[in-house]
Amino acid sequence: MPRLAAVHYRLFEHEQQAIDAAHIAETHDFGGELALTFHDGLRSFISWTSEPVQYAVGIGGRSHFRPDASLADYDVSHSRMWVGLIGKEIKMEYSAADDQILRIASADDHVLVCSLERGNWWADELTICKQAPAPYPE
């Protein structure tokens, strides 16, 4: 995987509290999507999807939302949640069944992206955290 250059949250109007939580590395959630930009210019968009199951965490080369979705873009690259991955080669891999937890990791740091909302798995929101916020039912 190429080196990570930037991390953006694409948020709906009522979700700006996620920015503050990212700056203090606190677990947070939102219904929009995550956009990762790499040094070679490629972008990956991460959001909840319907593949392989409804509300899985999905990765794509373009937005998971329609072009007219009311999403605002916020750079969180230098937040405490993400700064440890910026400039590093990262690997993205699923660490739970049904693609419910995506681990984004460098050699010395990581962030988890979970399909979890208010303690419930298989959700139409993303939870961003350092540790899984609830046990995943196996």
pLDDT tens digits, one per residue of 87-115: 999 999 998 888 989 999 999 999 999 98
User: Looking at residue 91, what is its pLDDT?
Assistant: 97
Strands (E), 4-125: 4-11, 28-30, 33-38, 43-49, 56-60, 72-75, 91-94, 101-105, 110-114, 116-117, 120-121
Mean pLDDT of 44-64: 90
Map out the domains of the chain as residue ranges.
4-129
Give residue-wise pLDDT tens across range 14-47: 999 999 999 999 999 999 999 999 999 999 999 9
